[in-house]
Amino acid sequence: MRDYVKFYINGEWVDPAGAAKTLDVLNPATEAVAGRISLGSAEDVDRAVKAAKTAFRSFSRTSRAERLELLQAILAEYTKRSGEMAEAITEEMGAPAWLAKSAQAAIGAGHLHTAIEVLKTYKFHEPRGTTMIAKEPVGVCGFITPWNWPINQIACKVAPALATGCTIVLKPSEIAPFSAWLWTEILHAAGVPKGVYNLVNGDGPTVGAAISSHPDVDMVSFTGSTRAGIEVAKAAAPTVKRVAQELGGKSPNILLDDEGFGDAVKRGVAHVFNNSGQSCNAPTRMFVPAGRMDEAKTVAKATADAWAPGDPNGNARMGPVVSELQWTKIQGLIQKGIDEGAELVAGGTGKPEGLETGYYVKPTVFANVTNDMTIAREEIFGPVISILGYDSLDRAIEEGNDTVYGLAAYVQSTDIEKAREIASQLRAGQVIINGAGSDLMAPFGGYKQSGNGREWGDHAFGEFLETKAMIGYGEAIAAE
């Protein structure tokens, strides 16, 4: 059992400030206790912020070469322990071993690689005549990260923050904290200077709120639900700190009536079931031509039947969802879909046969869904997909945009010009055409209630930089 009851503050593993409560961390595949953490307090956050503020004075003045060397050292340590990282992610949130290794753990290294490549040529100074435009580190950054892609959302914040010279206080999810602990050990071994990176475990209402409201935290970056993101913004408002948020999604996937239709249905359903549906950018609303609804149902059912959940340490394609609370929420929404008249094509309520222990959900497909149904409006965050029919592309685009969210959208067509035309009309931070793979240099973030700000690639650097104009700087010089 993992006993992670200390915090990492000012370069050391330290005991909580007071008589902290501990929290058992459950393995969602077995429902057994896998470890425990301490739940921090506002005092613990204050200690971490003070360390980060002190460290900022020197770390913010480090050179590009020094920060490149540090990131390369972190990447080297991460590479050594990537197998351990994958195992920790499987244990804490149930990702199948294949997914934990090839995607969940791998993307942590990917974000480190990306930050290194961007840092090599990023222009921190830009001369305009005799004025110098300088981009300088924003200061102490508070990071509040979720459980669904735990190391992805830590690495995509920490790597660019370090690259730009910021210091950090991290609160990972208390539901899935093992990967964050391992990440912290990696940074320590890589020689991150004291106080530059700090870890305080705890819950949102206590540690998350303390980070968001702390007057010496200069920016807060949050990934999670829209409901929690609103609370973070409220807590941050009195100190007028910068707030970046990557929140919920209900992404449309518009399939055109062409020869690639069957493959597009299969690909779209599989994308939703990946990571047990626990991805904020999952294409959970599939729009198909009304005349091809029956074909879509047949393909979707066959795809769902092939995604049987099972032991994540075995060969299962899909593991459990993260917790009993999440399982119960998903069950309620599946039942809501049935009650509101959607056609249940595959899956349904209850646990899959033979999987009575563990938070397993049946891969579920609804067809003939209308865009006013609850399952088409609310983020389910489970392996549940809704198929909606359309009579015209204009209507598909209109209904695709008819959501409070705008994180991602998808278009599938063998006619690339038509796909591009539709993509340009969808109001989302990312539009994926014909199942294109992930691009870590592409900005990631949302429109509307899916958040504000952008992560990944060079756009991520901008979130951690202030802009200073030094007027009358002198004779024009080459940009750095």
Structure tokens at 459: 């756009």
Instruction: Classify residue 11 as left (phi > 0), alpha (psi -120 to 50) or beta.
Output: left
Q: How far apart are CA 306 and CA 363, in angstroms?
A: 9
Determine which helix (DSSP H) or strand (DSSP E) holds 411, and give its type and residue range.
strand 408-412
DSSP letter for 118, please: H
Rounded to an integer, what distance in angstroms lies between the CA atom of residue 405 and that of residue 407?
6
Q: Which residues are catalytic?
A: 246, 280
Q: What is the pLDDT along the chain (480 residues), one digit of tens a residue?
A: 999 999 999 999 999 998 889 999 999 999 999 999 999 999 999 999 999 999 999 999 999 999 999 999 999 999 999 999 999 999 999 999 999 999 999 999 999 999 999 999 999 999 998 999 999 999 999 999 999 999 999 999 999 999 999 999 999 999 999 999 999 999 999 999 999 999 999 999 999 999 999 999 999 999 999 999 999 999 999 999 999 999 999 999 999 999 999 999 999 999 999 999 999 999 999 999 999 999 999 999 999 999 999 999 999 999 999 999 999 999 999 999 999 999 999 999 999 999 999 999 999 999 999 999 999 999 999 999 999 999 999 999 999 999 999 999 999 999 999 999 999 999 999 999 999 999 999 999 999 999 999 999 999 999 999 999 999 998 655 555
Domains, the chain: 2-247 (3.40.605.10), 252-433 (3.40.309.10)
Any idea what DSSP says for residue 322?
A: S
What distances in angstroms separate CA 420 from CA 111, 291, 397, one per listed residue? 27, 23, 13
CA pseudo-torsion sign 164, 181, 49, 248: positive
Where are any strands of DSSP class E within 129-241?
A: 131-137, 140-144, 167-171, 197-199, 219-223
